[in-house]
Structure 1
Amino acid sequence: MKIVIVPSGFKECLDSEDVAAAMERGVKRFDPSIETVVIPMIDGGEGFVKTIIRLKGGTLVEKQVTGPVCKEINSYFGVYKEHGKRIAVIEMAAVAGLKLVPRAERNPLKTTTYGVGELITAALDYGVDRILIGCGDSGTSDGGAGMAQALGVQFLDKHQQPVHISGGEDLLKVDSLLTANVDRRLEDITIDVACNWQNVLCGERGVARVFGPQKGATPKQVDLLSSALEQYAGAIQQATGLDVRTLPGSGASGGLGAGLLAFTNATLHPRFEIIMDFINIDEEIATADIVFTAEGSLDFQTPNGKIPSEVARIAKMSHIPVIALTGTIGEGADLNYKAGIDAYSCIIQKPVSLELAMKNAPKWIEESTYSVLRKVAIGWRMTNKGGLKKVSS
């Protein structure tokens, strides 16, 4: 019996390595003889830099930058060499992630990506040839305007006065923009971005309406933010000729994708596609008996390129069953059946506070994995397939 474990992290709680370790403990608790293959996954969010740098044998470079609530924080980026090129890896979650926004201050109208631009500048100072940016787990919705300002873009109001961007609400003041002072070193390097390809900047499925509430926005603030991003997109189109409103990935990380497209000439990639250049899971999944995956919240957004659905897509090519564990089951979770996930289970065992749930997550993931395997064993025996044996508690 071979079980392949390919989870993502639980946002603001556990990284993918911690989740994978807990799931493996649950498998071994059920039956120590089961072969396990553990492949912690990254999707551009938390853990992106450290995982890539560990795989590539690179180094972390620490840097003090502006955090999402405009206070200085300690952040980092990674650097490694490959084929004679020096490559930097930046993770927006490590500089403007939701985890860095205190709960009492969660309002995407007032959070900035300025620090992302500072990290890009630091990477350029390091003399890199290519930058790989992971977009995920963001706490911002400023369309990447803060980042752009750090790189030299100037935003002006209708009176041609400078506008300082410290959050999404400031985009309502923007009437035009100037790019003459943008760091020219950006013209000589390649920037690739791992992002959610389904996210767009504007419209009814725009990033303000889909993700604004998750970042603390009220319905009124969502409407305001949506209007602000639309105005911002108009200013970008007027200055550059590029209409970023509905380009694939433009809404990634609160619209950071749009800012990267407009001001750094970056290339956006479906995150799983580019990450597979670094982590190969196809062969292991194809030879598994069961695949376990996991995500902090399983809902209608999961099939749109998130790790569990991408793992399921690969597994279905070889007709391998997929089971997902999750911290919460959200609206539209049943859509994941169509995405190839055969069953899912919530790890929460009883009504508890968020703080207690996060504290107990490793234990509950282990216990849920063990419990699910006991149920699978019943089905296996009922169909006379064997393979999983009951073990004592």
Structure 2
Amino acid sequence: MADSNDSGERIGELIAGRRKYLGLSEEDVACKLADASGYTPSRTDVWRWETEYEGRTPGPQYLPHLAEVLELDESRLRRARAATKAARRFKVSAPVSSAEVIARLLPADTELSPLGTTTGRTVGAADAEALLRRVHGIRLADDVLAGGDLVEAVIRELRSAIRLHNDTCHSEAVGRRLLSGVGELAQLAGWVATDSGGRADPVPLFRLGVAAAKQAEDGPLAAHLLGSWGYWEANRGNLQRGLDLVRAAGPEISGGHVRVRSLTAARLAWVSTLARDHRTALTAIDTAMDQVDAADEKSPASADPRRWLYWVNRDEQEVMQARVYTQLHRPLRAVPLLRKVLAAYDASHAREYALYASWLAVALADANEPEEAAKSADRMFEVLAGLPSSRAQDRSKAVTTALRRFREVPEVVEVLERWGV
């Protein structure tokens, strides 16, 4: 039996390809499937599955028998069906390359091609601002692409930005803006690297970003970098290192910058949760919520002149609050927050949707609601199919562990068997 599965493989292409490879007609597949399953699919049903006409895919009851007829592993069929349904849910009608996504999100006055040869030329404030707009366009791509899709492109952009700063003539003020662009790209590259399954080491990227931000005298950006770095270190088990980095972020924030303070406080809450310092965690998350509310009262995050803060709003901070409550085994506080956020969440942000659904599944399991946990887990596994995100894949392991406590519950058994976990 065939055993491979391309990332994002769609069910229609898979069925049609195998049928033709085996020399079968659509009628042949329908007849063989009827004999194997006891159901009565028609040639038209097979055609609809292959063309995904009006979103049609074979129902779960057909998959074991269809796998037998097409000489495929059932798990491959299930992954392809899930990838197709997720693509339709997240409004992706056909595979789109990471370069195409980035190109769509870059500002109109910028090209996707490298920043070009810069040696000796003079650059001014307009060039620095163009770089920062370019960085934001690439940053928006991280909302809809996983780390495995984006990491090489971001590192390539970072190298170009470094050349733009090092190999041109510019004023001191322009130099600081260019360095902020380098720092922002380094933060994004480090963050994406943490989601790339080891394809790039985040540490030198974060370290470079901190150095660039400090040289640019951009304290809020330095805090963002230190917080991102510390958050990642704590998540991989280096708790003291994570705490030290996140705590070092605080002194970098001078003056107002309330939204930056909220982001830093939320990261301190999470790292303290992992370190089992419950008091600090709860105090910090309450502080983060108060600060983001104060910031939102003045203006929305999308209007902040620091474009990298566009996502730091109450909804996102409530997700962190819910994660803290889940980790502290307070599901009655976590579940309403997660359900509220997921109900209105942007469906194009597949990775974040899967991550938040994973936290909801764990919180529901902790609340002794295995049937509801299974529903949330099923949505998570469906969205994860074909998604090259190491963060999301790691969360799927936590969900599986939580569900296995309820192996006697039919809904849980069905989900675990469906996804082969």
**TM-score normalised by length of structure 2:** 0.27
Q: If each structure's helix is expressed as a fraction of its own residues, which one has the higher value?
A: 2
**TM-score normalised by length of structure 1:** 0.29
Bigger relative contact order, structure 1 or 2 (CA pairs below 8 A, ≥6 apart): 1
- Max Rg structure: 2
